Amino acid sequence: MADMGEAAGQGWSDSLAGTLQQLKREGLYRARRVVETPPGRQVVVDGRECLSFCSNDYLGLANDPAVVAAFRKGAQRYGAGSGASHLISGHSVAHHALEEELADFTGRERALLFSTGYMANLGVISALCGRADTVLEDRLNHASLLDAALLSRARLRRYVHGDPAGLERCLDGTGEGRVLVASDGVFSMDGDLAPLPELAAAAERHGAWLMVDDAHGLGVLGATGAGTVEHFNLDQQQVPVLMGTLGKAFGVFGAFVAGSELLIETLIQRARSYIYTTALPPAVAEAARASLGLIREQPWRRRHLHALVRRFRSGADQLDLPLLASETPVQPLLVGEPERAERLSRKLLERGILIGAIRPPTVPAGSSRLRITLSAAHTESDVDRLLTALEEVV
Ligand SMILES: *Cc1c(COP(=O)(O)O)cnc(C)c1O
């Protein structure tokens, strides 16, 4: 028996080791870098100081003194953890206030906090859709939206990226049951915007609901920073389900879903990733409230960020760099093969510039890229240094 156990264990080890070796051979092996500083324009990774162009802290709020002070005060008042799930005893006045402020900010009736964006997407789609229903998704949607549809057991169909006509064809082919259309607002690895007005119109014509995951638009787009739906001026009727995250432009952690009273009450009753998990620490909610205050009161952060995006794009244009068409702070440089993306990322690091190489399966095969992100924390000369380094290595 002992021998058989060992043999079975050996099978596992051989199989896992084989998989890791294959990832290495294909240039797809992932390793973590150890960061010693707060996120910001300048970071120390693996002991080396560098200028960072790869965080999602688009407004430079993750280490803002007011946000950090709110976090500290929140911990002093509420302790380190929430102690329970929202439905038992973990739902604090801090969470409640943040939900009300987020509903107001996004122009929705209500908002509901989740612990992460990944969990929000899993919870929403599996609460709204089941075996009899259909979920239609953009081909380049974030992994969490795809996983959510699979978890829901609904029929999943994916339409051509950013193509309302493709969506329309899928909508024509759906049978009985409810239909949910889900799309990133700003595509996380490409930086382009979904054609939301057209998607909303198509969904409305077919009695489907549109869900927008605005992880990368919230705080960044729209006159007041309320995101892609504000940019396109789409209300709760047109986009009934809006998901936003608090770990990117908000610089903190967590996520929320905003929509009608009916939607939010349904999620409270049915979303398993909401019900069966510990509530965020209330101090995190306090930090997010402080961030929201700055997002509303300091539009200069957005203005400066968009000016940096324009400066970077015009500089890259002069250098003929193969940038994707994006007007957002996500500015991917298309490289192609994963090994080359890794090599470029390493060479940039040697020059004190930190940019991650994004490879399959995060992006389609043959479209590995350097995902450059800009932040309001950067200066114009940071952007110029980036352009110089790119000119040297690409
Ligand atoms: C980051 C991201 C998520 C997940 O949010 P987390 O709070 O980090 O779990 C979901 N959707 C998109 C489009 C994202 O970029």
CATH of domain 65-297: 3.40.640.10
Q: Which pLDDT score, from 0 to 100, does residue 354 have?
A: 97
Residue indicated by tokens 């009934």: 240
- Locate 90 and state its tokens: 């973990």
For ligand 1, whether the C-beta of 82 sits within 6 Å is no
Nearest atom in ligand 1 to the alpha carbon of residue 216 is 15
Q: What is the pLDDT of residues 260-270, one digit of tens each?
A: 999 999 999 99
Q: What is the pLDDT of residues 47-102, one digit of tens each?
A: 999 999 999 999 999 999 999 999 999 999 999 999 999 999 999 999 999 999 99
Q: What is the C-alpha to C-alpha distance for residues 369 and 313, in angstroms, rounded to an integer? A: 16
Which protein residue's CA is at the shortest distance from atom 5 of ligand 1?
Answer: 117
Listed residue (12, 381, 233) closest to 20, CA to CA: 12
Kindly report the number of other CB atoms within 10 A of residue 275's CB atom: 16
Q: What is the pLDDT of residues 129-161, one digit of tens each?
A: 999 999 999 999 999 999 999 999 999 999 999
For ligand 1, whether the C-beta of 213 sits within 6 Å is yes
Is 65-297 the same fold as 31-58+299-393?
A: no
Alpha-helical (H) ranges within 61-195 are 65-78, 93-106, 117-128, 143-152, 164-172
Nearest atom in ligand 1 to the alpha carbon of residue 118 is 9
For ligand 1, whether the C-beta of 331 sits within 6 Å is no
Listed residue (190, 195, 189) closest to 167, CA to CA: 195
Q: What is the pLDDT of residues 290-307, one digit of tens each?
A: 999 999 999 999 999 999
Q: Which pLDDT score, from 0 to 100, does residue 2 have?
A: 53
For ligand 1, whether the C-beta of 144 sits within 6 Å is yes
Report the Cα 387 to chain-centroid distance in Å.
Answer: 25
Whether the pLDDT of residue 219 is over 80: the answer is yes
Phi then psi for residue 256, to 5 deg, are: -150, 160
187 Ramachandran zone, left/alpha/beta (phi>0; psi -120 to 50) = beta
Q: What is the pLDDT of residues 112-121, one digit of tens each?
A: 999 999 999 9
265 C-alpha to ligand 1 centroid (Å): 23
Residues in the chain: 394
Confidence class of residue 176 from pLDDT cuts 50, 70 and 90?
confident
The pTM for the full model equals 0.96
Q: What is the C-alpha to C-alpha distance for residues 23 and 172, in angstroms, rounded to an integer? A: 40
Where do the domains of the chain lie? 31-58+299-393, 65-297
Mutate to test the pocket of ligand 1, among 113, 147, 188 (most ligand atoms within 8 A of CB): 188
- In angstroms, what is the C-alpha Rg of the chain? 22
For ligand 1, whether the C-beta of 184 sits within 6 Å is yes
Identify each DSSP E strand in 214-310 by its residue range. Answer: 241-245, 255-259
Mutate to test the pocket of ligand 1, among 142, 216, 257 (most ligand atoms within 8 A of CB): 142
Q: What is the pLDDT of residues 312-358, one digit of tens each?
A: 999 999 999 999 999 999 999 999 999 999 999 999 999 999 999 99
For ligand 1, whether the C-beta of 255 sits within 6 Å is yes
Architecture (CATH level 2) of domain 31-58+299-393: Alpha-Beta Complex (3.90)
